[in-house]
Amino acid sequence: MKNKFPAVLLTLHLLALGALTSTFLLIDHNDKVINIVLISAVAFIFACIVYTIIYSRNAMRRISKMNQHLESSAAEFMNSLPAPVAVIDDNKKFVWYNQIFAEKIGLGQDVYGHDFEGFVKIDLESLIANGSALCPLNGCIYNVTTEKFTKKDMSFLVLYFHDDTSYYSIKKNMDESHPNVVVITIDNYDDIMQNAKESEKAQTSVETEKLIENFMSTTNGFIKKTSANTFFAVLENRHLKEVIDGKFKLLDAARNIKIAGKYPLTFSIGVGQGASSLSESEKIARQCLDMALGRGGDQAVVKTESGYRFFGGVSKGVEKRSRSKTRIIANALQDLIMSSERVFIMGHRFGDLDSVGAACGLAGAVSIFGKEAYIAVDRTKNLASNLIDTIDAETDCGLFITPAEAESMIGVNDILIIVDTHNRDYVESRVLYEKAHSVVVVDHHRKTVNFIDDAVIFHHEPYASSASEMVTEIIQYFNYNSDEKIASCHADALLAGIMLDTKNFVMRTGVRTFEAAAFLKKLGADTVAVKLLFSNSIDSYRRKTQIVASAKIHNHCAIAAADFESDDIRLVAPQAADELLSITDVDASFVIYRTANTINISARSLGALNVQIIMEQLGGGGHQTMAATQLENVEIADAVKALIYAIDDCRKNSSES
What are the φ/ψ torsions at residue 581 (nearest 5 degrees)?
A: -70, -15
444 known ligand binder? yes
459 known ligand binder? no
- Identify the CA nearest to 445 among candidates 563, 336, 544, 354: 354
Neighbour tally for 38: CB within 10 Å? 17
- Identify the CA nearest to 592 among candidates 619, 578, 574: 574
How far apart (Å, rounded) are the C-alpha atoms in residues 351 and 349?
5
How far apart (Å, rounded) are the C-alpha atoms in residues 476 and 523?
11
Residue 565 identity: E
CA 153 from centroid of its chain's CA atoms: 52
- List strand residue ranges (DSSP E) for 198-334, in order: 222-227, 230-236, 258-259, 263-264, 267-272, 299-304, 307-312
| Total residues found in the chain within this entry | 657
How far apart (Å, rounded) are the C-alpha atoms in residues 22 and 313?
117
Q: Which long-range contacts (CB under 8 A, 24 or more apart) does 301-307 make?
A: 301/269, 301/270, 301/271, 302/244, 302/271, 302/273, 303/271, 303/272, 303/273, 303/274, 304/273, 304/274, 305/274, 307/449
354 known ligand binder? yes
Q: What does DSSP assign to residue 624?
A: S
CA 182 from centroid of its chain's CA atoms: 20
Contact 364, 374 (CB under 8 A): no
501 known ligand binder? yes
Beta-ladder partners of 227:
230
Query: Which residues, in sequence order, are CB contacts of 188 under 8 Å at separation 6+?
Result: 297, 318, 320
454 known ligand binder? no
526 known ligand binder? no
Alpha-helix runs per DSSP H in 412-537: 430-435, 467-476, 488-501, 511-522, 527-532
Contact 438, 413 (CB under 8 A): no
Query: Which residues, in sequence order, are CB contacts of 43 under 8 Å at separation 6+?
Result: none
Q: Which residues participate in the annotated binding site for Mn(2+)? A: 348, 352, 354, 420, 444, 501
Q: Which residues participate in the annotated binding site? A: 348, 352, 354, 420, 444, 501
